[in-house]
Amino acid sequence: MVFDESERAAAESADWIARARRGDRRAFAHLVGAHQSRVRLQLRRLTRGDAALADDLAQETFVQAWLHLADFRGDARLATWLHRIALTCFLQHARRPRLPLEWRGDEAAEAPDTGHDPRPVEGQGRDIERALQALTEIQRLAVVHCYHLDLSHAEAAQVLGLPLGTLKSHLDRARTRLRVLLQAWNPESAT
Amino acid sequence: MNESRLTDDAFDDLLRRSAPGPLPDEGFSVRTMAVVERAMGAHAVQRRAAPPAPLAIARALAAEQRRHEAQARLWRWAVAGVVAGYLLMVAAVLLSPEGSLAIAIPAPGQWFPLCVLLAAGAIWVAVREWRT
């Protein structure tokens, strides 16, 4: 049943994309509405909580997507393609050619990333947020893309422009560090 | 298949549960589509057909010149063919033993092969013209 639902959703999405590629602006507006949240969340992470800048970059992302929709071959999910464009927009804004493979962990701590969620975080959420701040940027982005944006490892590697093995390596290190930092909240350690 | 979903680990669930909730649209889509419309206008202006380059103009003129010369050559050959035919006829009359010309008009049915030949020639010339 779930498989049928996902198949139906994929077919529906492909239909909207096909209509948008034919120049149907209403179809593209539908796609913007469907994907705006995840793109804005990703960019809020990248801009370290600057919601206004993130929204500007998200708009630029969708403009680029509209202008280059003919280049979308459908090999990847539209969400993956949009996340990749969003990252490119962010890097162009930051005038950085690519993400640094290793950033110092304390650099992130100096500039706290609070923009991922406007809601106040309490208890477990606050601790997880603090633990994420302790990671290097690339580790945090790996976690955010794989767990928060619900991308597969391959998709996250594609978005971040990393080899799959490198992405997995960063993710593994991040999980190891988070396990230590969140030991109190880990059900496995509680038993 | 989502690889990160494969591990049935409580820790992974913990991380996944910490994902922020979806952001409300709050007019973002409408604002974005307005920006898209503006960008489309700018893009259309940018993509207006560029004036032909001097090299392209020169090539087009050279091709036109070649076509013109080919037509003139064809016309000259056609005129030469008619003149040659007329001269041939005059020569045949002068060289004939009687020194006169007797014209015998054939029956209409005998014109058919000539009509076919002329029609084929006309079609060939027309196709050639159309292709150039």
Q: Name which of A25, A41, A125 is nearest B33 (Cβ-Cβ).
A: A25
**Mean pLDDT (chain A, rounded):** 78
Q: Name which of A67, A148, A149 is nearest B43 (Cβ-Cβ).
A: A67
Residues 6+ apart with CB under 8 A from B49: none
Q: Is A100 exposed, middle or buried (0-12, 13-18, 19+ CB in 10 A)?
A: exposed
- What whole-number distance in Å separates Cα of residue A59 and Cα of residue B111? 78
Each residue's pLDDT tens digit, B48-83: 666 677 788 888 899 999 999 999 999 999 999 999
Alpha helices (H) along A74-152:
78-94, 105-110, 123-133, 137-143
Predicted-complex ipTM score = 0.70
Q: Is A27 on the interface with B (CB under 8 A)?
A: no
Give contacts of B28 with chain A, Cβ < 8 Å: 32, 36, 40, 55, 58-59
Report pTM: 0.59
Contact A179 B36 (CB under 8 A): no
Contact B15 A178 (CB under 8 A): yes
**CA distance to partner chain A, nearest, from residue B26 (Å):** 10
Q: What is the pLDDT of residue A150?
A: 83
Q: What is the pLDDT of residue A103?
A: 39
Each residue's pLDDT tens digit, A106-158: 344 444 444 444 444 456 777 788 888 888 888 888 888 888 888 889 998 98
Q: Compare all CA atoms of chain B with the CA of A154 and give the residue at the minimum distance.
A: B3
Would you give per-residue pLDDT tens digits along chain A (191 residues)?
445 666 777 777 788 888 888 888 888 899 999 899 999 998 988 888 888 889 999 999 999 999 888 888 777 888 899 999 999 998 888 876 555 544 333 344 444 444 444 444 456 777 788 888 888 888 888 888 888 888 889 998 988 888 999 989 998 898 888 888 877 665 555 44
Give contacts of B36 with chain A, Cβ < 8 Å: 25, 28, 62-63, 66
Contact yes or no for A48/A109 (Cβ under 8 A): no
- What whole-number distance in Å separates Cα of residue A85 and Cα of residue A159? 8
**Token pair 């960008």: residue:** B39
Each residue's pLDDT tens digit, B7-40: 556 777 878 887 888 888 888 888 989 888 888 7
